[in-house]
Amino acid sequence: MSLTAGVDIGSLTTKAVVVRDGRLVGAAVLKSGVDSAEIARKALQEALEQAGFKEDSLDGIVATGYGRIRVPFAQRRVTEITCHARGIYHLWPDIRTVIDIGGQDSKVILLDDGGKVRDFVMNEKCAAGTGRFLEVMASALEVPVKDMGTLSQQASQGASISSMCTVFAESEVVSLVAEGRPVAEIIKGLHNAIAQRVVAMAQRAGWEEPVAMTGGVAKNPGVVKSLEEYLGTSIRIPPDPQIIGALGAALLASG
């Protein structure tokens, strides 16, 4: 039996996955905190509890995400780029492009037919177009982030959001609300703005079909729909897109 774990310490959430003989048997998602090591351990413990194992049964642990260097109990550290690729390859070996939109970064990862990373592009020093962007806008619109996807699907067209800076876009949103623009159209406009930014990244990378999406923002059907419209292709979403990085890490821990 091979039992391994992956821990993905992101800016907003920390995820842990336990894999037994290549099968996911436990997972946990917690809010990230100041003490990355402590949160990582808590997430791991939760995932292990779900799987019915103790930490000393593990054959290996790989840490990923920005906080990966602050996980003392991991044997290896691998970037989230490689881990997301590995995770998706495990689910769908035919995928050639992974779009990952997380809390504060977004990336486009190209895979070869062996699941190895061929190339990648990441957003540069700006959280516009990421989960944080949506959180700020949700707050400005006074709607829960989890409802943005379904709300946007009520709109037939999206409001034009010209600013990509999160702060200026928020200001635009407030103005649109004051003008009486329907909230659904504003949200659709925000999703379109994210999609345009990510598609530009995908074009820089030289994306290919088929495409999958990972990260917390993949749970937003409105963003997924906007991305599909701008890319002109369908996008596959895993059952739990948020844990794919941790899944990849756990698979890499088994060699």
Contacting range for another protein; rule: CB under 8 A; set: 34-42, 44-52, 77-85, 193-201: 77-85
Q: How far is the CB of 250 from another protein (least distance, A)?
A: 16
DSSP track, 128-186: TTSHHHHHHHHHHHT--GGGHHHHHTT-SS-------SHHHHHHHHHHHHHTT--HHHH
For residues 95 and 151, which CB has a smaller minimum distance to another protein in the complex? 95
Positions 118 through 147 that interact with another protein (CB under 8 A)? 118-120, 122, 124-125
42, 32 Cβ separation under 8 angstroms: no
Rule CB under 8 A: is residue 148 a binding residue for another protein? no
Q: How far is the CB of 44 from another protein (least distance, A)?
A: 21
Q: Is 23 exposed, middle or buried (0-12, 13-18, 19+ CB in 10 A)?
A: exposed
Positions 86 through 125 that interact with another protein (CB under 8 A)? 105, 116-120, 122, 124-125
CA distances from residue 235 to 36, 97, 143 in whole angstroms, order as listed: 32, 10, 26
Coil/strand/helix, residue 116: coil
Mode of pairing for the β-strands spanning 97-101 and 23-31: unpaired
Nearest residue to 42 via CA among 32, 51, 52: 32
Q: How far is the CB of 172 from another protein (least distance, A)?
A: 22
Q: How far is the CB of 208 from another protein (least distance, A)?
A: 12
| Token pair listed for 154 | 């009520």
Query: Which one among 17, 27, 44, 66 touches another protein, defined by CB under 8 A?
Result: 66
Q: How far is the CB of 17 from another protein (least distance, A)?
A: 19
Q: How far is the CB of 202 from another protein (least distance, A)?
A: 13
For residues 137 and 247, which CB has a smaller minimum distance to another protein in the complex? 247
42, 13 Cβ separation under 8 angstroms: no
For residues 54 and 76, which CB has a smaller minimum distance to another protein in the complex? 76
Residue ranges binding another protein (CB under 8 A): 66, 69, 78-82, 105, 116-120, 122, 124-125, 204, 206
